[in-house]
Amino acid sequence: MEEIRRQLNEKVNQVNEFNITFEKVKKEVVKRKGWRAPGIERIQNYWWKKLEPAQKALTRAFTKIKKDKTNIPTWWPTGRTVLLPKTKNLEDEKNYPPITCLNTSYKIMTGVVAKYMRKHTMENEIWDDGQLGAVEGVLGTVSCCSIL
Protein backbone atom coordinates (compact mmCIF):
# COMPACT_ATOMS: atom_id res chain seq x y z
CA MET A 1 0.00 0.00 0.00
CA GLU A 2 2.85 2.38 0.76
CA GLU A 3 4.31 1.75 -2.68
CA ILE A 4 0.98 2.64 -4.32
CA ARG A 5 0.73 5.79 -2.20
CA ARG A 6 4.26 6.80 -3.20
CA GLN A 7 3.53 6.24 -6.90
CA LEU A 8 0.33 8.28 -6.71
CA ASN A 9 2.08 11.11 -4.90
CA GLU A 10 4.70 11.20 -7.64
CA LYS A 11 1.98 11.49 -10.32
CA VAL A 12 -0.07 14.23 -8.67
CA ASN A 13 1.08 17.56 -10.07
CA GLN A 14 -1.50 19.88 -8.59
CA VAL A 15 -4.29 19.89 -6.06
CA ASN A 16 -6.96 22.53 -6.53
CA GLU A 17 -8.86 23.80 -3.51
CA PHE A 18 -12.23 22.11 -3.11
CA ASN A 19 -14.82 24.80 -2.51
CA ILE A 20 -18.51 24.22 -2.10
CA THR A 21 -20.46 27.00 -3.77
CA PHE A 22 -24.15 27.70 -4.21
CA GLU A 23 -23.67 27.36 -7.99
CA LYS A 24 -22.20 23.84 -7.63
CA VAL A 25 -24.99 22.75 -5.28
CA LYS A 26 -27.69 24.25 -7.53
CA LYS A 27 -26.19 22.53 -10.61
CA GLU A 28 -26.20 19.19 -8.78
CA VAL A 29 -29.75 19.69 -7.47
CA VAL A 30 -31.16 20.63 -10.89
CA LYS A 31 -29.98 17.39 -12.53
CA ARG A 32 -31.66 15.18 -9.90
CA LYS A 33 -34.97 13.50 -10.72
CA GLY A 34 -37.77 15.08 -8.70
CA TRP A 35 -39.69 12.17 -7.28
CA ARG A 36 -37.02 9.55 -6.56
CA ALA A 37 -37.47 7.64 -3.33
CA PRO A 38 -35.90 9.61 -0.47
CA GLY A 39 -33.97 8.31 2.50
CA ILE A 40 -34.91 8.65 6.15
CA GLU A 41 -35.08 12.44 5.89
CA ARG A 42 -38.10 11.94 3.54
CA ILE A 43 -37.35 15.04 1.41
CA GLN A 44 -37.99 14.54 -2.29
CA ASN A 45 -35.53 16.04 -4.79
CA TYR A 46 -38.47 18.04 -6.15
CA TRP A 47 -38.40 20.29 -3.08
CA TRP A 48 -34.63 20.81 -3.20
CA LYS A 49 -35.10 21.88 -6.84
CA LYS A 50 -37.99 24.28 -6.20
CA LEU A 51 -36.86 25.98 -2.99
CA GLU A 52 -33.78 28.16 -3.53
CA PRO A 53 -33.53 29.02 0.19
CA ALA A 54 -33.24 25.27 0.86
CA GLN A 55 -30.40 25.06 -1.69
CA LYS A 56 -28.63 27.92 0.09
CA ALA A 57 -29.11 26.14 3.42
CA LEU A 58 -27.63 22.96 1.89
CA THR A 59 -24.62 24.95 0.70
CA ARG A 60 -24.07 26.33 4.21
CA ALA A 61 -24.49 22.87 5.79
CA PHE A 62 -22.07 21.27 3.30
CA THR A 63 -19.51 24.03 3.93
CA LYS A 64 -19.84 23.52 7.68
CA ILE A 65 -19.30 19.76 7.28
CA LYS A 66 -16.26 20.35 5.04
CA LYS A 67 -14.68 22.60 7.66
CA ASP A 68 -15.37 20.28 10.58
CA LYS A 69 -16.20 16.61 10.00
CA THR A 70 -17.73 16.37 13.49
CA ASN A 71 -20.67 18.38 12.07
CA ILE A 72 -21.89 15.35 10.10
CA PRO A 73 -25.22 14.28 11.60
CA THR A 74 -25.21 10.56 12.42
CA TRP A 75 -28.48 10.02 10.50
CA TRP A 76 -27.26 11.73 7.32
CA PRO A 77 -25.31 8.91 5.60
CA THR A 78 -27.85 6.32 6.78
CA GLY A 79 -30.13 4.62 4.26
CA ARG A 80 -33.69 3.37 4.39
CA THR A 81 -33.85 -0.19 3.06
CA VAL A 82 -36.99 -1.64 1.52
CA LEU A 83 -37.68 -4.99 -0.10
CA LEU A 84 -39.28 -4.72 -3.55
CA PRO A 85 -40.63 -7.82 -5.29
CA LYS A 86 -38.99 -8.61 -8.66
CA THR A 87 -41.84 -10.83 -9.83
CA LYS A 88 -45.48 -11.47 -9.04
CA ASN A 89 -44.51 -14.55 -7.02
CA LEU A 90 -44.73 -12.96 -3.57
CA GLU A 91 -44.21 -16.25 -1.72
CA ASP A 92 -40.52 -16.69 -2.60
CA GLU A 93 -38.19 -14.58 -0.44
CA LYS A 94 -35.57 -14.62 -3.22
CA ASN A 95 -37.86 -12.34 -5.23
CA TYR A 96 -37.30 -9.47 -2.77
CA PRO A 97 -33.92 -7.81 -3.40
CA PRO A 98 -33.12 -5.07 -0.88
CA ILE A 99 -33.11 -1.52 -2.23
CA THR A 100 -31.50 1.16 -0.06
CA CYS A 101 -32.73 4.73 -0.42
CA LEU A 102 -30.09 7.23 0.67
CA ASN A 103 -30.96 10.71 1.87
CA THR A 104 -31.40 13.07 -1.07
CA SER A 105 -29.23 15.74 0.57
CA TYR A 106 -26.47 13.14 1.04
CA LYS A 107 -26.65 12.23 -2.66
CA ILE A 108 -26.44 15.90 -3.61
CA MET A 109 -23.30 16.36 -1.49
CA THR A 110 -21.63 13.21 -2.80
CA GLY A 111 -22.44 14.36 -6.35
CA VAL A 112 -20.64 17.66 -5.74
CA VAL A 113 -17.64 15.84 -4.24
CA ALA A 114 -17.57 13.25 -7.06
CA LYS A 115 -17.35 16.00 -9.70
CA TYR A 116 -14.32 17.50 -7.92
CA MET A 117 -12.65 14.10 -7.47
CA ARG A 118 -13.17 13.11 -11.10
CA LYS A 119 -11.71 16.41 -12.33
CA HIS A 120 -8.74 16.05 -9.96
CA THR A 121 -7.99 12.47 -11.01
CA MET A 122 -8.35 13.27 -14.73
CA GLU A 123 -6.06 16.32 -14.48
CA ASN A 124 -3.40 14.26 -12.70
CA GLU A 125 -3.87 11.21 -14.94
CA ILE A 126 -4.69 8.88 -12.07
CA TRP A 127 -8.26 8.08 -13.19
CA ASP A 128 -9.23 4.41 -13.34
CA ASP A 129 -12.00 3.71 -15.86
CA GLY A 130 -13.19 0.85 -13.63
CA GLN A 131 -14.43 3.36 -11.04
CA LEU A 132 -17.96 3.60 -12.42
CA GLY A 133 -19.40 4.90 -9.16
CA ALA A 134 -17.86 8.31 -9.85
CA VAL A 135 -18.95 8.55 -13.49
CA GLU A 136 -21.64 11.10 -14.21
CA GLY A 137 -24.95 9.46 -15.03
CA VAL A 138 -24.06 6.14 -13.39
CA LEU A 139 -26.09 5.37 -10.28
CA GLY A 140 -23.98 2.44 -9.12
CA THR A 141 -21.42 -0.09 -10.14
CA VAL A 142 -21.78 -3.49 -11.71
CA SER A 143 -19.14 -6.13 -11.34
CA CYS A 144 -17.87 -7.39 -14.69
CA CYS A 145 -16.90 -10.75 -13.28
CA SER A 146 -17.91 -12.97 -10.41
CA ILE A 147 -15.79 -14.81 -7.89
CA LEU A 148 -16.56 -18.51 -7.70
pLDDT at 13 over 80: no
Distances (CA, A) of 97 to 40, 51, 104, 137: 19, 34, 21, 23
Question: What is residue 142's predicted lDDT score, i.e. its pLDDT?
Answer: 45
Percent of the chain whose predicted confidence (pLDDT) is above 70: 86
Question: What is residue 87's predicted lDDT score, i.e. its pLDDT?
Answer: 87
**Local confidence band at 144 (pLDDT 50, 70, 90 cut-offs):** very low
Q: Is 99 helix (H, G, I), strand (E, B) or coil?
A: strand
Question: Is the whole-model pTM more than 0.95?
Answer: no
At 69-128, the pLDDT tens digits run 898 888 998 998 989 898 888 888 888 999 899 999 999 999 999 998 888 888 887 777
User: Shortest CA distance to 114 belongs to which of 83, 148, 84, 141?
Assistant: 141
If you average pLDDT over residues 20-33, what whole number do you get?
A: 95
Whether residue 114 contacts residue 18, with contact meaning beta carbons closer than 8 Å, is answered with: no
pLDDT at 8 over 90: no
Question: What is residue 133's predicted lDDT score, i.e. its pLDDT?
Answer: 57
Percent of the chain whose predicted confidence (pLDDT) is above 90: 41
